[in-house]
Chains A and B, each alone.
Chain A
Amino acid sequence: MNQTRPWFRIGSLIVGLAFLYIPIVSLVVFSFNKSRLVTVWGGFSTKWYGELMRNDQILNAAWLSLKIGALSATLAVVLGTIAGLVLARFGPFKGRTLLSGMTTAPLVMPEVITGLSLLLLFVTMEQLIGWPAGRGMTTIVIAHITLTMAYVTVIVQSRLASMDDSLEEAAQDLGARPAKVFFVITLPIILPALLSGWLLAFTLSLDDLVITSFVAGPGSSTLPMVVFSKVRLGVSPDINALATIFVTIVSIGVAVAGYLMARQQRLRESDVQMALAANQELVENLKRT
Chain B
Amino acid sequence: MSYQPPRPWWLRWLPAGRTGVIAIPYLWLMLFFLIPFVIVLKIAFSDSRIGMPPYEPLLQWAGAQVVQIKLNLANFAFLVEDSLYWKAYLTSIWVAFVSTVFCLLIGYPMAYAIARASQTRRNVLLLLVILPFWTSFLLRVYAWIGLLKNNGLINNTLIALGVIDEPIQMLQTDFAVYIGIVYSYLPFMILPLYSTLEKMDLTLLEAAADLGSRPWKAFLQITLPLSRDGIIAGCMLVFIPAVGEFVIPSLLGDPGMLMIGKVLWTEFFNNRSWPVASAVAIALLLVLVIPFMVYEWGRLRREAAGEPV
Contacts and interface: CB of A to CB of B under 8 A. Distances in A.
Interface of A: 1-5, 8-10, 12-13, 15-17, 19-24, 26-27, 30, 37-40, 79-80, 82-83, 85-86, 90, 92-93, 95-97, 99-113, 116-118, 120-121, 123-124, 126-127, 142-143, 145-146, 149, 153, 172, 175-179, 199-200, 203, 206-207, 209-210, 213-214, 224, 227-228, 231-232, 234-235, 239-240, 242-243, 246-247, 250-251, 253-254, 258
Contacts of B24: 79, 82
Nearest 9 A-B pairs (CB), nearest first?
A110-B244, A117-B36, A12-B109, A23-B143, A83-B25, A9-B113, A4-B215, A121-B36, A243-B139
A90 B18 CA distance: 8
A67 B159 CA distance: 46
B255 to A, nearest CB: 10
A112 B281 contact: yes
Interface stretch (B65-73, B76-84, B224-232, B292-300): B292-300
Contacts of B245: 110
Contacts of A102: 29-30, 33-34
Contact of B186 (A16, A82, A118, A200): A16
Interface residues of B, number: 101
A113 B143 CA distance: 26
A39 B142 CA distance: 13
A257 B74 CA distance: 55
A285 B297 CA distance: 59
A277 B219 CA distance: 46
Interface of A is mostly: helix
B277 interface: yes
23 contacts: A2-B218, A12-B110, A17-B129, A21-B128, A24-B135, A26-B153, A38-B146, A86-B25, A99-B25, A104-B296, A105-B289, A110-B288, A111-B261, A112-B246, A113-B264, A146-B28, A149-B25, A153-B25, A235-B149, A243-B142, A250-B135, A251-B131, A258-B127
A211 to B, nearest CB: 10
B151 A101 contact: no
Contacts of B292: 108
B138 A116 contact: no
Given A12-B113, A113-B244, A120-B40, 13 more contacts: A12-B109, A39-B152, A79-B25, A102-B30, A102-B33, A106-B33, A108-B240, A149-B28, A200-B134, A203-B134, A207-B137, A232-B251, A254-B127
B26 interface: yes
Of A9, A145, A199, A232, most B-chain CB atoms within 10 Å: A9
A143 to B, nearest CB: 8
B241 A103 contact: no
Interface in B156-190: 156, 183, 186
B10 interface: no
Nearest to A239: B142
A235 B142 contact: yes
B257 interface: no
